[in-house]
Amino acid sequence: MVLAPRLEISQKQKLMINPQMRQAIELLQLTNVQLADMLKREMEQNPFLAFDAAHFRESGNGEAPRAVTVDGASGHGLTDKIEAVRVDFAVGESGDVNAMLENRAADDDNLTAHVLQQISEEIGDRDMAALAVELTGWLDDDGYLREGDDEICSTIGVDAGLLRETLTRLQGFTPAGVFARNLADCLRLQWLARGDWTPTHQALLDNLDILGRGDIDALAKAMAVAPDALPLLLQAVRALDPRPAAAFETTTDRLALPDVIVLESDAGWQAYLNEDSLPSVLVLERDWEEMATRKITDDERKFMKSNVQSARWLRKATQQRAATLLRVSRAIVARQQSFFTGGLAALEPMRLRDIAEEIEMHESTVSRSVAGKLVQTANGQFSLKDLFSTAIGEGTNQSGGNRKIISAQSVKARIAGLVAEEDAPSNVLSDNDLVALLAEEGIVVARRTVVKYRKAMTIGSSAERRRAAKIARAADD
């Protein structure tokens, strides 16, 4: 048998994602704040795209950006770049350090601004001030400087002596404990700031691992002190703050604006889009019409036509995104009416597929719509995705009756509630105890499920909670 080449014609269906479709998918996944940032970047490049000026001002954002036409004639849209002022200051770079620090400190009311203000007031040496600014950017959310000296020196190319001298100054700043390298260092700095530092305090910090185990007798022996001397020391430890940055608002906190707001009406709980953070887009059609009548080159006309088409599509895409988010949110809220009244303990089982089938959308569209979105409720702020929860307890129990069907999130909330009610080391509940108490409420779950949920909520084991309770009791005695 001889094989010979041949031609065949066949038809196949294949999904092709063009750039606009891809951008529409990306828009759906953005939060309102992220969308506003993306639109600002687009407006810097597209002279026919702008925020709705009235909406922008009413939302507390100040004046909307204005546009420039191709030849520089003023229009309604964008001339001024709207972006946060970002100052990169290299060690030893020329410039007015104090002026830069004052400008930076005036912009925000957070830990960074608080530290920068102190640098401007207390560090006069240019090189040290520049390094101090750089190190401020290395602080983590707790206010610690976790990286070692060698890593810092090699990364920013600074002398080790200058680094040590600068850190000594910074560790004297408020809040006490800022720029600490670890927990023991943080507590030490706070005791030094209070002026009551003693060798006994150092002995306690040297044995934090024993303190963490809750072994009071071993701690007293390691510190070479009498056991009855520990309660006062433990009280002093509890009065310190292991997270010196916790009292300051962070950028993340300020940007955590809800995308959806749930309010109660006569018909029950209803979802609404947060107009204060939802950007509204304008296409500057008059600018396009006016420019199109001018004598311009073919390349200029092509450039303008491309930009106005892009602006029109982006306006349509943002409107579609808003409509999709609202439709998905209202379907979620309609299913979770009990949650908005009773909290997580009343959360109903609900899957992405349930919402997708109800509103006749693809499950991936629902998933992208809820990704990263925050919802403001009467019980606080939640992630929209947190309102989805698998059902547990389906099937029959050992006696042949039907189990109570409940969401995983509500089980977690109940476990957290039972643990919160523990008021003494002798009342700490084991995982088996939790299983039994849940069963009494009609919630039948395996011990391994309780362990899994407890760990997910960063709740320690019964032994760990018992040790913590003993330490707290010893400090109160």
Rounded to an integer, what distance in angstroms lies between the CA atom of residue 49 and that of residue 304?
11
- For the segment 366-418, what is each residue's pLDDT rounded down to a tens digit? 888 888 899 999 888 888 888 888 777 644 444 444 555 777 878 888 888 88
Q: What is the mean pLDDT of residues 125-151?
A: 86
* pLDDT of 425 strictly over 70: yes
The structure tokens listed for 7 are 């031609």
How many other C-beta atoms can be found within 10 angstroms of the C-beta atom of residue 116? 24
Q: Which residue has the tokens 């620090």?
A: 101
- For the segment 314-366, what is each residue's pLDDT rounded down to a tens digit? 999 999 999 999 999 999 999 999 888 888 778 888 888 899 999 998 888 88
pTM to 2 decimal places: 0.52
- Range from 76-80, 143-147, 166-170, 307-311 that averages highest in pLDDT: 166-170
The structure tokens listed for 43 are 């407006």
Please list, in sequence order, all residues whose beta carbon lies within 8 angstroms of the beta carbon of residue 334, skipping any fewer than 6 positions away: none
* pLDDT of 44 strictly over 70: yes
Alpha helices (H) along 123-181: 126-136, 149-156, 160-170
* pLDDT of 147 strictly over 70: yes
pLDDT of 157 reads 78
Domains annotated on the chain, with CATH: 184-243 (no CATH), 256-387 (no CATH), 391-476 (1.10.10.10)
Rounded to an integer, what distance in angstroms lies between the CA atom of residue 350 and that of residue 339?
12
Q: Report the sign of the C-alpha dihedral through residues 163, 164, 169, 173, in that order.
A: positive
How many other C-beta atoms can be found within 10 angstroms of the C-beta atom of residue 212? 14
